[in-house]
Amino acid sequence: MEENKNNNENMDLNNKIKQILQEEKERVFGKEDESDPYKKVKDDRKMKYIIFCGSTMSGLGKGSTMSALGFLLQCCGLKVTCIKIDPYLNSDAGTMSPFEHGEVFVLDDGGETDLDLGNYERTLKLRLTKNHNITSGKVLSGVINDERKGNYLGKTVQMVPHVTNKIKNLILETAFIPVQKENDDIADVCLIEIGGTVGDLESSIYLEAIRQFMHERDSSDCALVGITYVPTIPKTNELKTKPAQHGIKELKSLGVFPNILVCRSSNKLDNDTIKKIAFFADLPLLSIISCYDIDCYWDLPLVLAGQNFHLKLLDHLKLEVKQYQMHKVIGLSEHIRDLQKATEVRIAICGKYTKMSDAYYSLTKSIFDASINAYRKIKLEWLDCTIFEDDLQNEPKTEEKKAEFWKTLEKCHGIIVPGGIINN
């Protein structure tokens, strides 16, 4: 009886403490906005966030790594959604040259977006919207529109807090948009890729917004994955960690600290290199992931799973594994390796932007998917059609290039002429 009485008194005391803290919170920050249309769904299911940002240089494969992680999370029975943040001032990628930024991926709702969204849709079987591609053009035009409407009540509109708040609100609203093809369920985990490189002027405001975003949530609600580069000196075959060290230092100087560091390199990192990076990153050894060059994209989930990349993040986010179906990716990876023994089919891609394969990224991925189903080994021949343009006929070696063009074309089993822009 005495023990029960003490337990009841402790419960009453804890409830009073919670009430005091809640009253203080409301006094300082005000009551929560009951008109928030996403409040109910936020209360019903707490969203988890995994943010990817790159250091050292661009083109390290943030999008591919994020897609591979999303696939592993799906194998664990979790639903995911994806957001791509592009720091450029364009409203979308629709008017950008493929030479500038690769292909423009068109979504079901007509949104013209970055090619990474196509990668997310194909790998994770999602149906994303134009809202899932956040650009500086969208953010800043939204802030200006709010200012013109008087939403800031006469305050001086600044990068902090008004622009950062706009970024955070866009992330929060987009994260709860249903994207699953089978149903309208809200995702368990939101994966966010910040384009560009740490240290770029245009990316700094997004990293500040992410710093605030993570600060406003429990540590188990957000995880930050840093992508860095560890180059190899060709003649000595020596791995150099200095670029990675500088990248991590730059990231920390902005108040953003990675929970896991993915190190891109030509070959697998040895233990001494991992120890050195972990020491300067102030991270445990197991939080350093070696992501080396591979021949097939579908080997990437296996490389990451072999180092328990997804399980470490699930542990940090306090998420439970609902199922474990790694046999899917293992079977697919083995099937793709077997394609090397299959009959080779040559496909010619005749276009204007063939010098940059990313300009036809979705096309090449579609051909690859078809080759898997048809069990054929695909060899792509990239043929530049600009040699036939009138203003290039007087250029030197044009006739030789034409002859080589037709010679290559005759050896192909199929021809694809992708669409261009304007008169192309």
Question: What number of other Cβ atoms are within 10 A of residue 298's Cβ?
Answer: 20
CATH label of the domain that carries residue 123: 3.40.50.300
- β-strand pairing of 48-54 with 80-86: unpaired
Distance set, CA 360 to CA 103, 120, 363, 381, 420 (Å): 6, 16, 5, 13, 10
Same domain, 96 and 195: yes
Q: Of the candidates 269, 297, 332, which is a domain's last residue? A: 332
Q: Please, what sign has the CA dihedral across residues 401, 403, 405, 408?
A: negative
DSSP code, position 424: -
Alpha carbon distance 211, 257 (integer Å): 9
Q: Are residues 375 and 246 in the same domain?
A: no
- Residues 221, 105 share a domain: yes
| Matching residue, tokens 């592993």 | 72
Please report whether residue 13 resides in a domain.
no
Distance in angstroms (rounded) separating the CA atoms of residues 273 and 281: 12
Residue numbers of the domain that contains 367: 342-416
What is residue 388's predicted lDDT score, i.e. its pLDDT?
83
Examine residue 14 and state whether it is found in any structural domain, yes or no: no
Domain end call among 332, 359, 393: 332
> Cβ of 157: how many Cβ atoms within 10 Å?
14
Answer yes or no: are the C-beta atoms of 36 and 208 closer than 8 Å.
no
Residue environment code for 310-330, b if the CB has 16+ CB neighbours within 10 A, otherwise e: bebbbebbebeeeeeeeeebe
Q: How many CB atoms lie within 10 A of CB 216?
A: 10
Mark whether 312 and 350 lie in a shared domain: no
Q: Are residues 47 and 184 in the same domain?
A: yes
Are residues 218 and 103 part of one domain? Answer: yes
136, with CB counted inside 10 A (0-12, 13-18, 19+), is: buried
Specify the amino acid at residue 261: L
- The answer to whether residue 28 sits within a structural domain is no
Q: Is 73 in contact with 310 (CB distance < 8 Å)? A: yes
Q: What's the token pair of residue 391?
A: 């203003």
In a domain, 147, yes or no: yes
Asked, for residue 27, whether it belongs to a domain, the answer is no
In a domain, 277, yes or no: yes
Same domain, 269 and 134: yes
**Residues 229, 291: contact at Cβ < 8 Å?**
no
Mean pLDDT by 10 residues, the chain (424 residues): 62 76 71 50 70 87 94 94 95 86 90 92 94 96 94 92 95 95 91 91 93 94 96 89 91 93 94 94 94 89 94 94 80 83 93 86 90 92 86 74 90 88 53
Closest CA to 304 of 278, 329, 281, 321: 329
Domain membership of residue 4 (yes or no) is no
pLDDT of 46 reads 81
308: in domain:
yes
76 lies in the same domain as 141: yes
The verdict on 352 and 240 lying in the same domain is no
Q: How many CB atoms neighbour CB 99 within 10 A?
A: 12
Q: How many domains does the chain have?
A: 2
| 364 and 283 housed in the same domain | no
Residues 210 and 72 in one domain: yes
* Burial label, 169 (beta-carbon count in 10 A; 0-12, 13-18, 19+): middle
Report the run of H or E that residue 18 belongs to, with start and end: helix 2-29
Question: What is the DSSP code (8-state) at residue 114?
Answer: -
In degrees, rounded to 5, the angle at the alpha carbon of residue 300 between the alpha carbons of residues 299 and 304 is 120
Q: Among 306, 332, 358, where does a domain finish?
A: 332
Sign of the CA dihedral with 266 first, then 271, 272, and 273 last: positive
What DSSP element (H or E) covers 211? helix 201-215
Helix spans in 30-157 (H): 39-44, 62-75, 98-101, 115-124, 136-148
My answer on whether 279 and 380 are in the same domain is: no
